[in-house]
Structure 1
């Protein structure tokens, strides 16, 4: 246990709150969910319910190193977020800006090959099969024009 409680802990380039449980604090890192955090912490031998601010510098460094190289922990491939990456075919797990850049690259690739999903992304439409008749409308909001008979009736009654 560290003698000093840390309220802000930096792991993988992200400032995390020290007053949260380890698993939930790690879940604030882009690409790490609560379940993934539980699996990683149990594999490293840490209690997921322990407060992040109570860790020593060595513990923080050990967790940070493990997050940078999750594939080396020997986890099953279905836990990783980039299985069979298109470029290399390898199983990877990306976090923070690496994940954002990879997703953006995937979308740009789909636009380039003009796949159905790529075309939907290009036009700013729903991509995953949602209905678009009533939702997802963008642009200028227009009201409904009243018919001539309704306008006459409104003038007489008004």
Structure 2
């Protein structure tokens, strides 16, 4: 641990600036693709106290956390990664940051190209996951009952 006067307000891990004033577990959730449970696993495997302030960690602790973030997909079961079966390679992957956003966008474009049900729903801007659409998710002019004027 470093003295409190040496608090780093931003800690950079995996091309993401993390809030140095937060505890390690919460700060790691600032990386897109890492939730609370994954952050807990990463911090424990790095040997860092999950409640320690992120900005007070030494450089070796931050390096250990970054190493564990990169090794996360290999160290957890297949069902804990955010991409259990990659469409192109067939291997389990865990994507972070902009890679996750791009992969999601590519998946949606692939569905649109295949003209599958979900792809067509995405194209038309409709709900995709089976939600009801009779009353919610409307767009355009407001249509409904108008109040009676006295």
- Shared fold (TM-score, shorter chain, > 0.5): yes
RMSD, aligned CA: 1.9
Is the Cα contact below 8 Å between 2:45 and 2:68 reproduced in 1?
Answer: no
State the partner residue of 1:16: 18
State the partner residue of 1:49: 51
User: CA 1:145/1:101 → structure 2, altered by over 3 Å: closer, same or farther?
Assistant: same
Query: Which consecutive unaligned segments of at least 5 residues does structure 2 have?
Result: none
TM-score of the two chains, using structure 2 as the length reference: 0.90
TM-score of the two chains, using structure 1 as the length reference: 0.85
State the partner residue of 1:2: 2
Query: Which consecutive unaligned segments of at least 5 residues does structure 1 have?
Result: none
1:28 aligns with 2:30: yes
Question: 4+ residue runs of structure 1 moved beyond 6 angstroms?
Answer: none
Structure 2 CA distance for aligned equivalents of residues 68 and 39 of structure 1: 13
Q: How many residues align?
A: 148
Structure 2 CA distance for aligned equivalents of residues 43 and 62 of structure 1: 9
Cα offsets for 1:4-38 (capped at 9, x unmatched): 21122111111111111101110111100001100
Structure 2 CA distance for aligned equivalents of residues 143 and 80 of structure 1: 45
1:132 aligns with 2:136: no
